[in-house]
Amino acid sequence: MNKRITIYVYGRVQGVFYRFHTKRKAKSLNLRGWVKNQDDGGVKILAEGKKQDLETFLLWCRRGPPFAKVNNISHEWTNIASDKFDSFKIKY
């Protein structure tokens, strides 16, 4: 059964290709959903897939790509995955 996770990432996560690398990591784990910059300087991620893959993804999000500096992260699990996403995208 698929799960959904919503992740908020804060720190130096804009202007350092965080979204690009997040999309690449999500695709490597066969996750679906999106990543988007927030007005407050953070990044919001919504991802769906197998729980084990989402847990791996969450650990990656805590580190981020090489030039990012993650200061804080929060997340929320949802048991219901919509299955409305067919890929992982960057939202603008």
Domains and CATH numbers, the chain: 3-80 (3.30.70.100)
Q: What are phi and psi of 49, to 5 degrees?
A: 165, -165
- Tens of pLDDT, residues 29-82: 999 999 999 999 999 999 999 999 999 999 999 999 999 999 999 999 998 767
Which residue's entry shows tokens 């919001």?
44
Around 9, how many Cα atoms within 13 Å sit in the side-chain half-sphere? 27
Active-site positions read 19, 37
pLDDT, tens digit (0-9, with 9 covering 90-100), for 16-33: 999 999 999 999 999 999
68 by DSSP, 3-state: which?
coil
Which tokens hold the place of 67?
């030039």
